[in-house]
Each structure stands twice: as C-alpha cells, then as structure tokens.
C-alpha cells in the first residue's frame, strides 16, 4: 500500500514505522480527516469539559497523541482556557501542532512511556490513538499515571480492537486507579468514510495503586 491509497489503512499497516509514517502524513493529515468528517476530537473535548471537577488555574490538560492539534483546537473551542500540553511521537505532527498557537507546551514522546510527571494533568484526552497498529491497552496506565486523583481520562476507542484494551482498562478499575463514569453510544466517528464504530470513554482517576502489569 502506498501513500496514495487510503491513509488510515496505510497507517495501520506497519506499527514499526509509525513515527516515520506520521511524519510523512503530517502535511495532508488535517485535509484527510476533514474529508472523512472526523468527530473524535470534538466529542472527547466536550466529554472532558463536562466531567472536569477540579478548580485549579495552574493545572493542565494533556492531549496525548496530539497529532496536528485537532483535539487542542476542540478543547479551546469547548472553553478550556488553562494550560494545554500536547504529546506525540512524530516531530512532523508536533511541528504542525505548534503552528496553531493553542498549546502551551509540546513534548515528543511515546504513550508507552509518557515523558510527564505523575499527576501532571487534571484531564487527559486521547483521540485516534487506541486503534490498529498504534499503542496497546497497556498505555492506559500511563494516561492514568499522569492524571491527578479526581481528574479524568477521555479516549476514543475503535470497537474492533482486541480484548487487550478492555483487559487493561478493567485492571485499572479493579485496582481503584480509576472508574468509568461515561461511555458514548457506538457511532462512526469518520462518518464520511466506511469505518468501524467507535466510542468515547471517560474515567475518573482515583487514589488506588495501579496493579502490576502482569496481574
């Protein structure tokens, strides 16, 4: 498959080359997703703003896997006026996000090992990340780790993912690390593309210890 074919299938094809492929895709990423009617960022931003309960002007929202910044724009549009931090593996994507002027900080890094301190955020939003050939369900623990107790984690999830995602989400719930507080009805978040259904899931982070990876 080449860059001229459907780019979602192309990006799913080889996870070992993910950073390079996103660098290549950065120039047309926004146009492609606009053409497909990508709704994930707006829905996730709305969910985050609905569930944030912590009143702290110094706190941050982290856009995990920020790409070119669509979720950052959505969060500002939804009313977030505080600090906004974007994290992404691809420098090409971060360069595009930087040009928007909506982020206070952009960090290059993997969601397998997010280069941010524990409890950095009052909310973490992650859209289009828990999908084929990207991060596995184990990365949910990292999103939980960087969120302070009482904060929320909001992700979009494709429903055709393997049980790995549910296993890790449930593990965190059993450990008291978070609890699910909202889940949208399944819908096609790329409505102008023949795509699988997705959901938007919101968890509230608790004070429980994260269970060992092997549990």
Give the model's pLDDT for residue 98: 96
209's CB contacts (< 8 A; 6+ apart) are 175, 176, 177
CB 201 within 8 A of CB 46: no
User: What local confidence, expressed as pLDDT, does residue 1 receive?
Assistant: 35
Give the three-class secondary structure for 123. strand
pLDDT per residue over 158-184, tens digit each? 888 777 899 999 999 999 999 999 999
Count of H helices and E strands in the chain? 8, 7
Give the global pTM.
Answer: 0.84
Start-to-end CA span in the chain (Å) = 38
For the domain made up of 7-205, the CATH class stated in words is alpha beta
Segments of the chain scoring below 50 in pLDDT: 1-5, 7-16, 209, 211-215
**How are strands ordered across the β-sheet holding 105-108?**
105-108, 83-88, 60-64, 121-130, 147-158, 198-205, 178-183
How high is the pLDDT of residue 82? 95
DSSP string, 146-162: TEEEEEEEEEEEETTS-
Per-domain residue ranges of the chain: 7-205
């Amino acid at each position: 498959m080449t860059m001229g074919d459907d780019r979602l299938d192309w990006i799913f094809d080889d996870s070992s080359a993910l950073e390079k492929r996103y660098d290549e895709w950065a120039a047309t990423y926004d146009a492609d997703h606009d053409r497909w009617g990508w709704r994930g960022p707006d829905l996730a931003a709305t969910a985050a703003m609905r569930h944030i309960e912590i009143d702290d002007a110094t706190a941050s929202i982290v856009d995990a896997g920020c790409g070119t910044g669509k979720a950052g724009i959505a969060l500002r549009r939804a009313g977030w006026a505080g600090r906004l931090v974007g994290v992404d593996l691809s420098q090409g994507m971060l360069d595009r996000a930087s040009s928007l002027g909506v982020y206070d900080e952009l960090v290059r890094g993997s969601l397998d090992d997010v280069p941010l301190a524990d409890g950095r955020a009052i909310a973490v939003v992650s859209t289009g990340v828990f999908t084929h050939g990207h991060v596995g369900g184990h990365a949910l623990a990292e999103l939980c780790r960087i969120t302070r107790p009482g904060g929320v984690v909001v992700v979009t999830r494709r429903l055709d993912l393997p049980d790995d995602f549910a296993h890790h989400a449930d593990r965190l719930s059993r450990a008291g690390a978070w609890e699910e507080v909202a889940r949208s009805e399944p819908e096609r978040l790329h409505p102008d593309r023949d795509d699988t259904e997705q959901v938007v899931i919101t968890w509230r982070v608790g004070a429980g210890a994260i269970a060992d990876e092997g549990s």
